[in-house]
Structure 1
Amino acid sequence: MKNSWKDSIYLQREELARILREPLAQLAGHCAPAWGDGGALDAILAAHFDGIPHCSFLYCVGIDGVQICNNVGQDGIEPGYLGRDRSQRPYMKEAVPVWGFLLSDAYIGLNRHRPSLTALQIVSRDSQSLGYLGADFDLRNLPVTSALYEEPGYWRQVKGDPAIRGTVFQQCRVESPMDGNLEQALSILEELLTQRGVFQCQIHFSSSQATIWTVDDPFRYRILDADALSDPDICLLYPPRPYPADAAIPPGDINRILGTMQALRLTDPTFYLRMASINIFNGLVSVTFSCDGSHYMSHVEFLMRDTSFWF
Structure 2
Amino acid sequence: MNQTQTQSLSWQQSIARQREALADMISLPLERIADRCAAVWPERELLDQTLSSGLHELPYCQFLYVLDREGVQISDNASHQGLLPEHFGRDRSQRPYMRGLLPIHGMHLSEAYLSLRAHRPSVTAVQVIRHDDRIVGFLGADFDLRDLPLTRELYDEPSHWRQIKGDPAIRSGVFLQRRAESEMDRRIDDVLPIIEELIVQHGVFHGKLHFSSNRATIWHVNDPYRYRLLDIDMLVDPSICFAYPTAVYPANAVIRPEQIRPILEGFRELRFADETIYLRAGSVNIFNGLVALNFSCDGSHYLPHAEFLDRDNPFWTSLTPAGA
- Shared topology, TM-score over 0.5? yes
Sequence identity, in percent?
51
Q: Partner of 1:211 in structure 2?
A: 217
Q: Partner of 1:37 in structure 2?
A: 43
Q: Distance in 1 between matches of 2:251 and 2:266?
A: 24
Q: Partner of 1:178 in structure 2?
A: 184
Q: Distance in 2 between matches of 1:155 and 1:99?
A: 44
After TM superposition, what 4+ stretches of structure 1 lie above 3 angstroms from structure 2? Answer: 305-309
Match of 2:231 among 202, 225, 230: 225
Shift in CA distance, 191/302, structure 1 to aligned 2, threshold 3 Å: same
Deviations 1:43-73 (A, max 9, x none): 0010110101411110011111110000011
- Secondary structure of 2:232 counterpart: coil
Letter in 1 for 2:27: R
Alignment partner of 1:49 is 2:55:
yes
Task: Give the conservation status (yes or no) of the 8 Å contact 2:10–2:158.
Answer: yes
Q: Partner of 1:87 in structure 2?
A: 93
Q: Distance in 2 between matches of 1:186 and 1:173?
A: 19
When the two structures are aligned, how many residues end up with a matched partner?
311
Q: Partner of 2:3 in structure 1?
A: none
Task: Give the conservation status (yes or no) of the 8 Å contact 1:157–1:294.
Answer: yes
Please report how far the alpha carbon of residue 143 of structure 1 lies from its aligned counterpart in structure 2 after TM superposition: 2.1
Unaligned regions of 5+ residues in structure 2, if any? 1-5
Task: Give the conservation status (yes or no) of the 8 Å contact 1:208–1:225.
Answer: yes
Q: Partner of 2:169 in structure 1?
A: 163
Q: Distance in 2 between matches of 1:80 and 1:221?
A: 49
Please report how far the alpha carbon of residue 100 of structure 1 lies from its aligned counterpart in structure 2 after TM superposition: 2.7
Letter in 2 for 1:116: S
Q: Partner of 2:128 in structure 1?
A: 122
Q: Partner of 2:252 in structure 1?
A: 246
Unaligned regions of 5+ residues in structure 1, if any? none
Letter in 1 for 2:257: P
RMSD over aligned CA atoms reads: 1.5
Q: Partner of 2:117 in structure 1?
A: 111
Alignment partner of 1:20 is 2:22:
no
Q: Partner of 2:16 in structure 1?
A: 10
Task: Give the conservation status (yes or no) of the 8 Å contact 1:103–1:117.
Answer: yes
Shift in CA distance, 195/16, structure 1 to aligned 2, threshold 3 Å: same
Q: Partner of 2:72 in structure 1?
A: 66
Q: Distance in 1 between matches of 2:259 and 2:153?
A: 30
How do residues 252-271 of structure 1 correspond to structure 2 at under 5 angstroms? 252-271=258-277
Please report how far the alpha carbon of residue 172 of structure 1 lies from its aligned counterpart in structure 2 after TM superposition: 0.4
Task: Give the conservation status (yes or no) of the 8 Å contact 1:205–1:275.
Answer: yes
Task: Give the conservation status (yes or no) of the 8 Å contact 1:94–1:104.
Answer: no
Letter in 1 for 2:99: K
Please report how far the alpha carbon of residue 145 of structure 1 lies from its aligned counterpart in structure 2 after TM superposition: 2.6
Deviations 1:265-305 (A, max 9, x none): 01110110011111111111110111101111111111113
Task: Give the conservation status (yes or no) of the 8 Å contact 1:277–1:286.
Answer: yes
Please report how far the alpha carbon of residue 309 of structure 1 lies from its aligned counterpart in structure 2 after TM superposition: 4.4
Task: Give the conservation status (yes or no) of the 8 Å contact 2:63–2:77.
Answer: yes
Shift in CA distance, 144/278, structure 1 to aligned 2, threshold 3 Å: farther
Q: Distance in 2 between matches of 1:34 and 1:173?
A: 75
Alignment partner of 1:310 is 2:319:
yes
